[in-house]
Structure 1
Amino acid sequence: MSLTPSTMLPLGTTAPDFTLLDTVSGDMIHLQDQKGARGTVVMFICNHCPFVIHVNEELVRIANDYRVTGFNFIAISSNDVVNYPQDGPDRMNQHADENDYPFPYLYDETQEVARAYNAACTPDFYLFDDRLKLVYRGQLDDSRPGNGIPLTGRSLRESMDALLGNKKVPEPQKPSIGCNIKWK
């Protein structure tokens, strides 16, 4: 497992558009159709990464807490499934079900979406405002597997709370750390 930090896409970037297969519903999902009234969280995750496994419970908690306030959540897996078959669409569906994901779990087969977002690791988080302008990118919180820091989702939660309160999103923003995206 290689520790890879986020590349920190510039703030203010417009969310790159996409249409991808939702492995949960079987439908094609378009970013514009998933845009939240208050904001949209796009997260790059996968099934097998220990860093994602570590945060799964908090991802579900945050999505459930903030969906009612006008935020939408989209998870995307962009890993090479030839060399990492455990991250394939059939297993993504099963993984989403086992973890009670309250958000679509999209498959980026060509890896074009991950490249457009400059995604580097799993998990990698991007928070866009109601106009799909990037206001936060980086870590969920300071917790990592084995470091003893409890999962709170603090970094992402504070950023969403700032949007809810019409305040500036806190800086500096720390990059996420996780497994590198498995490129083809």
Structure 2
Amino acid sequence: MGRADGGESMAETLSTFSLKPGDAAPEFELPAADGALQSLTGARGEKGTLVFFACNHCPYVVMLADAIASIANDLADKGIATVAISSNDVENYPQDSPELMASFAKEHGWEFPYLYDESQDVAKAYGAACTPDFFLFDSVGNLYYAGQFDDSRPKNGRQPDGADLMAAVADMLAGRSAPERQLPSSGCNIKWKPGNEPAYFG
């Protein structure tokens, strides 16, 4: 697994795929920037739910943010809800604070919940390793796809279109088996609090 250096490095961290297709989505109840609590159960869509880990400052998230907003609207029309979660250590990375999460979401047109995982327990439960890290669950809450949004990267010149994620969505809605080839998400490592790094990190 690659590892970013903890700062603004463009080195990539790859998702660890701790959850496997068919695993149940770990439940959570987390606050949004305004303090309102949102549970996974309350956020689920009729046809599925996309949970992804994000933050405000990561170049990979910034690059995808507008495309994610557009695709989340498309998913909503298909009955699939979207939830974003930030688990970064805001003491050492204040640019990811909940107050700035609200303005980031507004700037990029995120109309779905953007929640703050202060304890970092939810990130650990999902096996999230990087920002962004995507997890698509089916209508009964079982993991269908854990993988990259698409093959765009900040330095490769490709425009984000969500091709990999949307192909998985199409297969899921068509009742096909989960794709065997699921390329891991790439991004900056989640900024773990000192001493709180999970066993799968590093």
TM-score, normalised relative to structure 1 = 0.96
Q: Distance in 1 between matches of 2:28 and 2:147?
A: 20
Of the three residues 17, 20, 23, the one matched with 1:10 is: 20
What is the CA RMSD across the aligned residues, in angstroms? 1.0
Match of 2:199 in 1: none
Q: Distance in 1 between matches of 2:129 and 2:178?
A: 22
Which amino acid letter does the alignment assign opposite residue 192 of structure 2?
Answer: W
Match of 1:40 in 2: 49
Match of 1:138 in 2: 147
Q: Distance in 1 between matches of 2:15 and 2:178?
A: 18
Deviation of residue 118 (structure 1)?
Answer: 0.5
Match of 2:200 in 1: none
> Which stretches in structure 2 are left out of the alignment for 5+ residues?
1-8, 194-202
Deviation of residue 170 (structure 1)?
Answer: 2.4
Which amino acid letter does the alignment assign opposite residue 63 of structure 1?
Answer: A
Deviation of residue 68 (structure 1)?
Answer: 1.1
Deviation of residue 168 (structure 1)?
Answer: 2.1
Deviation of residue 11 (structure 1)?
Answer: 1.4
SS at match of 1:14: coil
Count of residues in correspondence between the two structures? 183
Match of 1:165 in 2: 174
| Contact 2:57 2:95 survives alignment (8 Å) | yes
Of the three residues 12, 21, 27, the one matched with 2:31 is: 21
SS at match of 1:126: strand
Q: Percent identity?
A: 50
Q: Distance in 2 between matches of 1:174 and 1:17?
A: 25
Cα deviations across residues 107-153 of structure 1 (Å, max 9, x unaligned)? 00000000000000000000000111001001000000120222110
Deviation of residue 61 (structure 1)?
Answer: 0.8
> Which stretches in structure 1 are left out of the alignment for 5+ residues?
none
TM superposition outliers: structure 1 runs of 4+ over 3 Å: none
Which amino acid letter does the alignment assign opposite residue 158 of structure 1?
Answer: A
| Contact 1:14 1:134 survives alignment (8 Å) | yes
Deviation of residue 169 (structure 1)?
Answer: 3.0
Structural mapping, 1:96-175, within 5 Å: 96-175=105-184
Do structure 1's residue 82 and structure 2's residue 98 form an aligned pair? no
SS at match of 2:134: strand
